[in-house]
Structure 1
């Protein structure tokens, strides 16, 4: 009995200490009563013109208006698609989520393009198609994707919409925000046709977004009873909250109800900010735009709603989260792609510029201009996101007038996420990580690294293929791209890393004076590996990356195998030296031929998502130990061949 009391006392103390360490920047900025007095009511916060103010729209959009009109014209004869019952069922039957998603997303792309075109032109030419789109959305049983059906207790359902349950997920909330803007701008025009159109739309938004947000608990809020989600809160939190906030700001004109909903969202987004203290996006740069980027959307909206009285853009934590997208960029659209991220990413220059402007980061604003210069066809239109598109229009001229410039930082160190990026003046860039194997969109890759020469990845992280039911189910680590065997880490005694929070790095550190990153990856492996210590270090010096593995084993079972993922042309003809040629870059990897023997495995890429980045095949280069020793060290060096 006494032990039980002591246990619960300690747990309580832990929760209290954890709570006391939380910053809660939003709720510390205002309590509910204070917030209530700050609110700009009746959509007075909206900075965009009324639909009928044609001259203001022409001034706001300029040439971008013509782009929006052309986009909308492509959907004037669009045939609205029905998302069938069997489309939902296909996810459970085959694991294919695209069967349901593709017609749903195409409808939403068409709808947002039509609404934006009507705002740009203002002649009613797109109105009938928009009304049909409103009707199609209102007639859907649910706006949630087949892959995203979960009840509040986090138990998976059968991935089929339930008319009795209105869940809020990534895309249901996004659809809600898109339709809320449509209601705000066009409900008077709808009423001229038939008042029942606006009435139905407003009713569905109340039923699907406003009411359930206040009356149900969702895991992504990280609010009671889901406090445990605070430890691993992900991009769902700011994405959903930003979308729901738009719905409330555009639809709710009761001060008390609006204040309660906004304050609930502040409590929730605080958990995302609390969980991202060092600024790194552990879901990868691909997710930055819908993680930190969605947090920016949320904070920007909240700042408008409170007339600037609640603003976090002067906080260093927010600036650090903003600048990750710039610091994780290597150049020429190549990015550091740990976790479920593609190695190539163009990025949204308008979002990056806006966020950089808000946190006063000149580097981000110049980087945004650099991205725009590289991809001049990148328009302000953000598919399915009306608010981002219109905000992009507001800063479009500023972005065009900004000098394009991108300078790779000498280093970036994220001590909590345990990401380290190092570069030199000879074109080398190294990204290394410690961390754990329970990160958001995790791959088993504790201690892995990526090496770039003149922005081009040579030793690479493959990334992830198309999402299926297996990707986020119990079979996730049966997928080869998720396994440590296909990352740049050792196979110890024939054993690979395991998934879970307990499988993590220890004693991770970065010495910026000597450009040296160190970590002990012993705990990333299960007991079967019989490893006592495996200290790995990365040292970038004079254009050469030196990697050291210092190990101690309990016993030897199988030869250790050190893996490197690569592509291009790989030559193993000379023992002790591997020549890797990728496009115009040639790199030499040296190793101790007395201790190790090099072999290579070809991996054919059947996944389009991977092959469009790497081509038809990549390689796993393995350095295999020639001797079984309980302790020792391996050293490898990588440098560009001049």
Structure 2
């Protein structure tokens, strides 16, 4: 039972022990403990012998590898036989600093890379040379781009400008993806390219070396490497995402003289991420980022495991499995997921990745969940992962395995992440999710103490998510965006004060009682001192058909507005008896409150950003329950029930 519901009693029973565990996790160093640099040199297989894909000339091998999806792969590539390769002009980069728009530069680059990926796969599947000239043109065009790094990410250059400075190479998520893709292309097609002209392969190798391998070896100060990270600094998905790409470049392209040094350096860097991740394995960035964080960790570990002949394998470490199963536990149903931070409320992960991760950590739950995700996907939808060529080529073989697996969803009644302070509780009617934490998490929203509530797998009390990324999203203006503010999350507004941004604004005493299905926390330190809070305890209790939210407030002053905000997907109907009715997709819930203590209103919030409107439609609603009396001590209770 313990393993299936993942609730660790040791944490809730002994907070002192928890603090000791948290402190100790900082020095796991799982990878460098698995192999020293000298051991690694003996483990790495020479001449890319570890690669499991057939050589291009092995047509029988590729026929077997592509199996029933061969025709689909060829048909998809055929669409790009007349593709016109795009340029990325200087003004496309400059548009980011002029208008804050990222897509001007990103769109043509991504279009080229996605086209090339499809063409490469099609040529591998067919093997007749029909796609080869277009492949060569695509490779050449991408090598000719002045930079593979996004305009939004160029601003870490010494110039602090968005136009690439040829004197400084920046490795970011996309440049790494492209470096990895071209590394695989070089490995798979080098002999064929040499028949056309050896300069093609030579050019590709030089570009990967100059843009990825050399700068990675020379620099220790890319922020995502985390070699110079200060204590408490956030180490997020960038670390494993970039390192996974660099690893491929080192293994497939780097010269023998630097390969081991480069691979070992990625191990040291990824250990920084593994040291940062909390032992409970939750992804504080939310399900939308799971594939870039835990998922990219899987990619990295799998390639390293294969390249070392199985000598470096940490998949048995319990935290790694918990990191994987976070994605299956965060799935509500009908495409909805728990979406704290910058995550979207829709999605659920890439089926092929989830399945392979499940295989690696021996999780039947993940494999069955992957099969659920894949039920309605075509082969093309399942296989293609854009510019992530490694996942695409892996998905080809995974497709049949997943389709032969019986779909199922997690039935765990609750999942408690005691260090990240996420709590999920499920019963036949409701899925409840809440968080404690602090206001400087990766992709942070000011949302300590917030919750989401789904009735019959329909979101009623919601986390809106985040809009389209712009220059402001990751700047000092981030919290001027409404979706980032606590006033647009399901938390109190106390004495005229919202929650501020900073790690000091945090939950205390977050605890979960599985017997009572109760999650509680102290919000006192989540608000500034001038909010006048002496004590603010919040408690959620889920019953068979209701959720009770109790806020016990003790204030030192009560001279301004105190209110409770509830974000809703359904349009509220406020009744006269302390009741609000919400109806959505033929289901109804009611919100009961003491009308002697609270006055209810609501606001309609237009949703114009396509990233949000694609999820919620044209509008969402903010219910405001305003305290009528300015008392220093008061208990507020709200009950949400299904009908």
Q: Same fold (TM over 0.5)?
A: yes
The answer for the alignment partner of 1:262 in structure 2 is 263
* CA shift for structure 1 position 574: 2.9
Q: Which residue number corresponds to residue 5 of structure 1?
A: none
Q: Please say which of residues 470-479 and 571-580 is displaced more in the overlay.
A: 571-580
* Equivalent position of 1:509 in the other structure: 511
**Contact conserved, 1:220 with 1:229, CA < 8 A, in 2?**
no
Structure 1 SS opposite 2:443: coil
Does the 8 Å CA contact 1:230/1:272 hold for their aligned counterparts? no
Q: How many residues align?
A: 620
Q: Is residue 37 of structure 2 the alignment partner of residue 32 of structure 1?
A: yes
- For residue 82 of structure 1, what is the aligned residue in structure 2? 87
Instruction: State the distance in 2 between where 1:570 and 1:20 align.
Output: 46
Q: Which residue of 1 aligns with 2:11?
A: none
Structure 2 vs 1, CA of residues 167 and 21 (structure 1 numbering), >3 Å: closer, same or farther? closer
> Cα deviations across residues 112-170 of structure 1 (Å, max 9, x unaligned)?
11111111111111111111111111111211000012447xx7711110111111110
8 Å contact kept, 1:220–1:236: no
After superposition, the C-alpha distances for 1:177-205 in whole angstroms (9 at most, x for unaligned) are 00111111111111111111111111111
Match of 1:323 among 322, 325, 340: 325
The alpha carbon displacement at 1:296 in A equals: 0.2
- Provide, for residues 543-582 of structure 1, a one-character-per-residue CA deviation record: whole Å limited to 9, x for no partner: 2111110111110122311000002232102331111001
What are the Cα deviations for residues 480-528 of structure 1, in whole angstroms up to 9, with x where unaligned? 0000000000110111010011111111111112111111111111122
Cα distance in 2 for partners of 1:232, 1:18 equals 16
2:195 aligned with 1:204: no
CA-CA distance at 1:366 after TM superposition: 0.6
CA displacement, residues 611-642 of structure 1 (integer Å, 9 cap, x when unaligned) = 1111111100011111101111101111111x
- Please name the residue that 2:165 is paired with: 162
Q: Which residue of 2 aligns with 1:8?
A: none
SS of residue paired to 1:313:
coil
Deviation at 1:20, TM superposition (A): 7.9
Look up the SS of the partner of 1:64 in the other structure: helix
CA contact (8 A) 1:222 1:229 kept: no
- For 2:71, the equivalent position in structure 1 comes to 66
Q: Are 1:402 and 2:440 an aligned pair?
A: no
Paired position in structure 2 for 1:12: none
- Alpha-carbon spacing, 1:230–1:211, altered in 2? closer, same or farther (3 Å): farther
| Whole-angstrom distance in 1 between the partners of 2:531 and 2:133 | 65
Partner of 1:587: 589
- C-alpha distance in 2 between matches for 1:554 and 1:279: 38
CA distance in 2, matches of 1:376, 1:574: 51
* 1:77 counterpart SS class: coil
Asked if 2 retains the 8 angstrom alpha-carbon contact of 1:551 and 1:632, the reply is yes
Closer, same or farther: CA 627–474 of 1 in aligned 2, 3 Å: same
> TM-score when scaled to structure 2?
0.94
1:379 shift after superposition: 2.3
1:484-499 maps to which residues of 2 (within 5 A)? 484-499=486-501
The residue that corresponds to 1:177 in the other structure is 180
Matches of residues 288-299 of structure 1 in structure 2 within 5 Å?
A: 288-299=290-301
* Gap runs ≥5 in structure 2: 1-21
Aligned to 1:193: 196
> CA RMSD, aligned part only?
1.5
TM-score computed with the length of structure 1 as normaliser: 0.94
- 1:110 aligned onto 2:120: no
Instruction: Please show how residues 445-460 of structure 1 align to structure 2 within 5 Å.
Output: 445-460=447-462
Cα 1:19–1:540 change in 2 (3 A) is closer
Post-superposition offset of 1:311: 0.4
**In structure 1, distance between residues paired with 2:466 and 2:544:** 33
Distance 1:222 1:50, change over 3 A: closer
Tell me how far apart the structure 2 counterparts of residues 219 and 163 of structure 1 sit (CA, whole Å).
Answer: 17
Aligned to 2:308: 306
Q: Which residue in the other structure is 2:551 paired with? A: 549
1:368 counterpart (359, 367, 370): 370
Instruction: Map 1:226-625; keep pairs closer than 5 Å.
Output: 226-228=228-230, 231-254=233-256, 256-276=257-277, 277-376=279-378, 378-424=381-427, 426-625=428-627
User: After the TM superposition, which of the residue ranges 203-212 and 524-533 deviates more from structure 2?
Assistant: 524-533
Kindly provide the CA deviation profile for residues 329-387 of structure 1, in whole angstroms up to 9, marking residues without a partner as x. 00111000000011010421111011001100001101111111144463212211221
For residue 396 of structure 1, report the CA deviation from its aligned partner: 2.1
Q: Which residue of 2 aligns with 1:14?
A: none
